[in-house]
Amino acid sequence: MKLDKSLDAVKHAESLMPGGVNSPVRAFKSVGLSPIIVKKAKDDKIYDIDGNEYIDYVMSYGPMLLGHADERVVKSVWSAASEGFSFGATTEAEIELAGLINKHFPSIESVRLVNSGTEAVMSALRLARGFTGRSKIIKFEGCYHGHSDSMLVKAGSGALTTSVPSSAGITESLSKDTLVAVYNDISSVKELFSANKKEIAAVIIEPVAANMGVVLPKEGFLNELINLAHDNGSLIIFDEVITGFRLSNGGAQGLFGLKPDITCLGKIIGGGLPIGAFGGRKDIMKFLSPLGPVYQAGTLSGNPICVAAGIATLKAIESDDAVSKANSSANYLIDGLKNELKNFNDKITVNSISSILTIFFKGGGVLNFNDVMKSDTNRFKDFFSSVLNGGLFIAPSQYEAMFVSSKHTKSDLDKTVAIISEAIKKYFSNYKNL
């Protein structure tokens, strides 16, 4: 595979931007390679500036459920752009998008649009503190909720990939208000509530962890968590930035039949354009300005182009039955992988739900952050290099998910099984003592 143009572009980028990127995981640092520079994408394919074609399983880290450059979304974006880029005033389209979100997420009785998942979480935490009059937040090891200061404590995703799960620059006063529990361990949450009586404003969780790789909740864990929080006068915040409109049209909460107090959304509700949202019970949301004392604002919130893309995306997801299509394709892929790799169950674990999955280089199952950290990242490096050269684009990190879209074809899924299986079998045959 020729990457001459990408290599030259990376050198130029490094002279102008920190690490040559605008988000750390894109630097390919954890896999020891120079990154590809992307030119375009369509359906389930992505193309670099050297002309190489890849079957894409990054899918912009989740939102491209319809595949890249869906014609309906593109048409909607062009139409909105022709009428203006930003107004600083409310549009009818914002109201329509809010209605679509409420339709599929009944727990979101009232919603506020923002510009990213990070902003949604940051605002939701402020709202929870304002509503309860309490200061402390419980999060879980390895769960990533964006890069706001209070959430960069034992975080996942890019923070974990770059080996700084707790970032420099976070003050001690902020850190002490962020309490960290063990995912899938309700006893660790009980201990925090016991030690911080009437101080905890909210518990925030990815209902399915997808930022330390895919880690599923144990049966009953989320129900116990909700009951425990409510028994202690605290709110439950579901971060569904990744799982929303992907695990089901109603996200993880719709799939599991749960009702959080506040939900955070992002990415997919703008079809991959910059957007986020948080919403929940009306009595809580009434604490937001201009109705209440909790201030939150944004000049670009509800941007008309992003909102237009979101409306087109959510309507297409519904009309296409895109979640079911992506799930069916993911099941086909996973069944193929498990069949080909059944002799390696002591060396790898495949965690999956709906249309997201992670191949962990660790046998024996993965249930929490401690299990995740036992994965062999050196093996993953070799694996990543092999599948990239084979024509697959996956996240350059052991700690991320693979995303299947409604546009992944059977032919491409078969190719994927062959490329991944060959890479793993070749690796373990070369290192028989590992």
Residue recorded with tokens 């009059």: 133
**What strands, in cross-sheet order, belong to the sheet with 45-48?**
38-42, 45-48, 53-56, 392-393
- Residue 84: phi, psi to the nearest 5? 130, 145
d(CA 422, CA 175): 45
267, 325, 362, 407: which one is catalytic? 267
Amino acid at 383: F
Is residue 362 part of the annotated active site? The answer reads no
Q: Is 144 a catalytic residue?
A: yes
**What does the DSSP 8-state code read for residue 211?**
S
For 43, which DSSP code? B
Catalytic-role residue among 43, 44, 70, 239:
239
Q: Single out the residue of 236, 279, 276, 238 nearest to residue 255, CA to CA.
A: 238
DSSP states along 70-104: -HHHHHHHHHHHTT-S--SS--HHHHHHHHHHHHH
Distance CA 265, CA 277 (A): 5
Say if residue 290 is preceded by a cis peptide, omega within 30 of 0. yes
* Consecutive H or E run containing 53: strand 53-56
DSSP letter at 291 equals T
Range list of β-strands (E), 295-348? none
Check if 61 is active-site: no
Q: Which of 144, 183, 325, 412 is catalytic?
A: 144
Integer Cα distance of 68 and 77 in angstroms: 14
Token pair listed for 138: 């419980």
N- to C-terminal Cα separation, the chain: 29
Q: Give the CA diameter of the chain.
A: 65
Active-site residues: which are they? 144, 239, 267
